Amino acid sequence: MVTMRFLLALPLTAALVAPAFARESRRVTAAAPTEIQDVLAAEAAGLVDVKFIPNDSRSAQVIVTNRSDRPLSLRLPAGFAGVPVLAQVQPQPTRGFAGAGQAQAVGGGGAGAQGQVGGGMGGGGPFSLPPERTRTLRVATVCLDHGKREPSPRVPYRMTAIDTCSSDPRLQDVMTALASGAISQKVAQAAAWHISSGRTWEQLAAEAISMAGGDPDVPLFTPAELAVARRLVDESAKRHQTASSESSPG
């Protein structure tokens, strides 16, 4: 049976944001939203609070609250990570978590996030958030650390840039494709495990879900899903290799 711990990982887009006004001077106005800002950059500037709550390895909720005195136009990063908070105070190996009992990292993308304010659903992409209002965004995610326990809403997580988990640009491409809906969650999961956990395509083909009642195990990935994942990873590698060659002197 596949046992997983998860972390959601996505990249931080740098942005310049104005500092938040003191609470005493806040005033709801009819001013138009400011330029679109990455939610992680806005959080660093004190404009918003961001909470990351994993549902499981496949999805999570990102809760954003506007702490400024003006409407904000925001967007999720194309890729981001959800990191267990308690794991941050412990010695960390390359993947970021020590011990079999710790929660795993998961990765996802923001382009296809579905949001709601009150009870109304909104589409993906940039969204406007009035002063002191909160919006919940639902995002697709994948596990980044094979073999660890599945994430749970009971474990506190924080949202961070994906490059805190991996500097491999192929992982960002996978997250972007997942967020845009270009690939399924299963395809993204296979590609992410290959990149971030070093699982070979043969090992991924052998992954199976144990069935109760003595029924035969079910493959975790279909041959078609693995073929799409492998093609995505290979094309990403070629693209980044070409870009690196073109940017090298001489």
Contacts of 41 (CB under 8 A, 6+ apart): 12, 13, 14, 15, 16, 17
Q: For residue 81, which phi and psi values (nearest 5 degrees)?
A: -130, 150
What pLDDT does residue 85 have? Answer: 86
What pLDDT does residue 33 have? Answer: 53
What pLDDT does residue 18 have? Answer: 32
What pLDDT does residue 39 have? Answer: 96
Each residue's pLDDT tens digit, 214-240:
888 899 999 999 999 999 999 999 999
Each residue's pLDDT tens digit, 60-90:
999 999 999 999 999 999 889 998 887 544 4
What are residue 82's DSSP bridge partners? 159
What pLDDT does residue 46 have? Answer: 96
Tens-level pLDDT at each residue, the chain (250 residues): 454 444 444 333 322 223 333 344 444 343 455 689 999 999 999 999 999 999 999 999 999 999 999 999 999 998 899 988 875 444 433 333 222 345 667 776 665 444 322 222 233 589 999 999 999 999 999 999 998 888 889 999 999 999 888 899 999 999 999 988 999 999 999 999 999 999 999 999 999 998 888 888 899 999 999 999 999 999 999 999 988 777 766 5
Interior CA angle at 249 toward 248 and 250, to 5°?
Answer: 115
What pLDDT does residue 124 have? Answer: 57
Q: For residue 191, which phi and psi values (nearest 5 degrees)?
A: -65, -40
